[in-house]
Amino acid sequence: MKIAAGRADQFIKAPDPNVSAILVYGPDGGLVRERAQALIRNFAGSLDDPFANVEIGASDLKEDPARLSDEASALSLTGDKRGVYVRDAADAHMAAIEPVLDLPPGDTLIVIEAGNLGPRSKLRAGFEKAAGAAAIPCYLDDQRSLGGVVRETLAARNVAVTPDALAYLQAHLGGDRLVTRSELEKLALYKGDSGEVTLEEARLCVGDSTEATLDDLVNAAGTGNSAVAGRLLDRAMQEGANEVGIIRAFIRHFTRLHQARGLMTEGAGADQAMKSLRPPVFFKQTSIFGNQLRRWSAERLGQALSLLADTEGQCKSSGVPSELVCRQAVLRLCALGGARPRRTRQVDGQG
């Protein structure tokens, strides 16, 4: 059974009683972990009870392919429901997993956790086609869903958030659901038991080395510096950034450039346009951002956003390695950013 991304949370709260095995997969490893654990917790009542839960690693399946089938058919020592949780599965483990796909529903729920799986994945296809199994995708949060996560997490601590702070958090979180929640918990703890998070407080509390690297990366590409962009792309990947998250950082940046360029076309000056964005351009970035506004015409910004949208889709679904697709996109953006601007007078909204 294939579960649409929009139905995932609803399914997790109330799974189909005829389903005995569930695959949770996708590029957002934190969301994969959060949903997989929620399924076990909702079914068995706890993640911590060793009598109610069994965790199996990918290495265990490799060493003992029959382990999963044995655990799936074992009886609970206490007579209660139990969960079997498999971590880090991949197509290579399909032979060990396939026997449990058509097990009749009972007192054991099998939850398989995997990374990003393409449409041709044997593991994904097996769960989508089996009548007694289900596959739940976990994609990176978009702006709408991320806004919901921010409000929900802060509201649990009786903390609200200003529109500018929310926009900042949406621009700087979202690469991993668990990291997002951890950063928001830290922010809520800093704010206290009540109040409203301001933009300054969000900037102070939320951010890490990967974020700084991505900021430097998009700025290097935006100014056409391919050599620096290449090194920063390598660093971002070494720090754990995935390809979709990198492309999303570019989309956020170039969307803001496009918005500012649109305001300038309507007559605003560059400084006014940057201050009108939400959140406004950080004061330490105004020089770099203004330089890119001089470089990029509305037409080339449209080309960049179209390229980025296509690249994100290819990273999610193409058979081509996502790292290669991402690198090619960054090089093309550097080429666009290195092109000579037609007229500097456009910066004043007169071009």
- Distance (Å, rounded) from C-alpha 5 to C-alpha 299? 33
Q: Which residues share a beta bridge with 24?
A: 113, 136
Is the pLDDT at 60 greater than 60? The verdict is yes
Domains of the chain, by residue range, sit at 5-137, 143-205, 209-348
Considering the domain 143-205 in this protein, what is its CATH number?
A: 1.10.8
Pairwise CA distance, residues 306 & 10, whole Å: 32
CATH class label, 209-348: mainly alpha
**pLDDT, tens digit (0-9, with 9 covering 90-100), for 116-137:** 888 889 999 999 999 899 999 9
Average pLDDT over residues 318-342: 81
Q: Specify the pLDDT at position 318.
A: 59
Spatial contact of 130 and 105, defined as CB atoms under 8 Å apart: no
Q: What is the pLDDT at residue 78?
A: 63
Q: Are 323 and 243 in contact (CB under 8 A)?
A: yes
CATH of the domain spanning 5-137, picked from 3.30.360.10, 3.30.420.40, 3.40.190.10, 3.40.50.300: 3.40.50.300
Average pLDDT score over residue span 29-52: 86
Choose among 128, 132, 142: nearest CA to 24: 128
Question: Residue 186's CB: how many other CB atoms inside 10 A?
Answer: 12
Tokens encoding 284? 């330490």
The residue among 302 and 211 whose pLDDT is bigger is 302
pLDDT the model gives residue 173: 80
Q: What is the pLDDT of residues 134-156, one digit of tens each?
A: 999 998 777 778 889 999 999 99
| The pair of three-digit structure tokens given for residue 341, joined into one six-digit string | 């601007």
Residue 134: per-residue pLDDT: 95
